[in-house]
Amino acid sequence: FFLSRLQAHFARATRSRSSMPADLARASTTDLLAELKRRMESPPKKNIILVGPPGSGKGTQAPLIKDKYKLCHLATGDLLRAAVAAGTEMGKAAKEVMEKGGLVSDEIVIGIIKDNISTPDCGNGFILDGFPRTVVQAEKLDGMLTSEGVGHIDHVIEFKVPDATLVERICGRLIHPASGRSYHEKFHPPKVAGKDDETGEPLVKRKDDNEETLTKRLDAFHKQTKPVVDYYAKQGLYSPVDADRKADSVSATIAAILAK
């Protein structure tokens, strides 16, 4: 009786999963128990939004969260570039808009996110980075997740760092253009000042990594982000994190939030 109920359950829940036999009604007891074990050991599905300005530590924490919970990391800028390069339907639409100098619409961005969350890599959930940036976008995202039957947003984590600290972090950055390796004048200096450790080639500062530009960007970020944060806070999904600490301390705080 137990095995027949288990077969019926898996037949309903895993028809699209390629890891199971096509005809679960005739699957062996060993296959069924192996699938049950796999599901019991898999981390629960989580859909997470990370909020934070440049230099707040999202880039450090996102890969750690991704690996621990087996999630996919969806950074909207990277998704747009990948969709354009791959020539997907949404990528073609985005390319046409960008070539005309326009802003990519919410519908296109959400369409690209929709294309990605349906892939096997996102089977356990996703980390969304860089979106939504407005309440309207958040509402459209919620609608898409509901219509696609992929759950809902579970956690919205904001990385809180004083602006003065962000200015110091970002204005001291040094980049090796060819490889993308990054250094910092104070926190992670190269072995030889101004030179890449591996190639000895010159390091550069990004044009926008200056105090005046960054201060304007941070001001705009805070004004834009607050309504979105309030939207999720009203749903009980929002958790601020003091990110002005060592990376392992921030990781521990995030782990405690995601354990709820």
Q: Hey, what are 138's tokens?
A: 């958040």
Alpha carbons 183 and 175: distance in angstroms, whole number: 6
Residue 240, preceding peptide bond in cis (omega within 30° of 0): no
**C-alpha to C-alpha distance for 201 and 173, rounded to whole angstroms:** 16
Catalytic residue among 92, 133, 205, 245: 133
Reply yes or no on whether 68 is catalytic: no
Which residues, in sequence order, are CB contacts of 115 under 8 Å at separation 6+? Answer: 83, 88, 90
Q: Which of the residues 140, 181, 195, 217 is marked catalytic?
A: 217
Name the 3-class secondary structure at 196. coil
For residue 178, what are the CA distances in angstroms to 61, 188, 192, 196, 233? 24, 19, 18, 10, 41
The catalytically annotated residue of 70, 181, 206, 245 is: 206
Q: Is 217 a catalytic residue?
A: yes
204, 177 in Cβ contact below 8 A? yes
Residue 206 falls in the annotated catalytic set: yes
**Catalytic residue positions, numbered:** 58, 133, 173, 206, 217
